[in-house]
Amino acid sequence: MINVAIFASGEGTNAENLFTYFANDTRIKIKLVITNKEDAGIVARAKQHKKTVQIVSKQALQNYTHQLIEFLNVENINLIVLAGFLLKIPHEFVSAFPNKIINIHPSLLPKYGGKGMYGNNVHQAVLTNNESESGITIHFVNEEYDKGEIILQAKCDVTLHDTVKTLATKIKKLEFDNLPKAIEQFL
C-alpha cells in the first residue's frame, strides 16, 4: 500500500484530480494534505474530499522539520507529491525521504525552472521566447530547485494564437493525465 501526502500551496486542482483518480484504489491512498496557506483553494478542495489538512507555515517548515518528518512517519506516508507547493523543501526533509518526494513542474525542465518559475510566470516566459513547444516535467526532488532526476515529461505545441490562459489549459490537461500515472509507477 502506498500512502501519499500531497504538499500544495495554490488552487489544488492537481490534488483534486488525484483525490478523484485514486478514490477507490486499494493500493494507493491519498492520505493527507500539507499546505502553507490556510486560505488557498487546496484547503476547501481537500475538505470536500474529506482529507486531513495540516497547515505548516514557512517558518514551521524550516524550524520544525523534524516534527513534520515524525508526523509523516507516524501516518505511514511513503510517497510525497508536491503539487504546486511553492516553498523550498529543507535538506533534512529531502534526506529523510530519499527518492520518495516528487514534484510536478509546468515546463520542459531544465527550461523555465528555478526560483520564480511557477504557474503562469512559466507560461508567460515560454510565450515571450516564442517557443514552439512546452510541456510538463515530473521529477524527484533533491537539494536543488527543479533539478532532481526526471521521471517523465509530456509535451504540447505552442502556437501563435496561444495566450497564457490557453497554454495554462493545455498544461493542466497534461498534468491531470500524467501525474496519476507517475504515481502508479511507484507500485
- Annotated active-site residue 66? The verdict is no
**Using CB under 6 A, which of 2, 84, 135, 139 touches ligand GAR?**
84
- Give helix 41-48 / helix 13-21 axis angle, nearest 10°: 20
Q: Is 13 in the site for ligand GAR (CB under 6 A)?
A: yes
Q: Quick one: which of 83, 102, 126, 174 contacts ligand GAR (CB under 6 A)?
A: 83
Q: Enumerate residues 151-170 that contact ligand GAR by CB under 6 A.
A: none
Angle between helices 164-184 and 13-21 (to 10 degrees): 40
Of 49, 66, 91, 105, which residue is the catalytic one?
105
Which of these, 156, 150, 162, lies nearest to 175 by C-alpha position?
156
Of residues 107 through 146, those in contact with ligand GAR by CB under 6 A are 118-119
CA dist 174 and 55 (Å) reads 28
Give the catalytic positions in this structure: 105
Sites of contact with ligand GAR (CB under 6 A): 8, 10-15, 83-84, 104-106, 118-119, 175
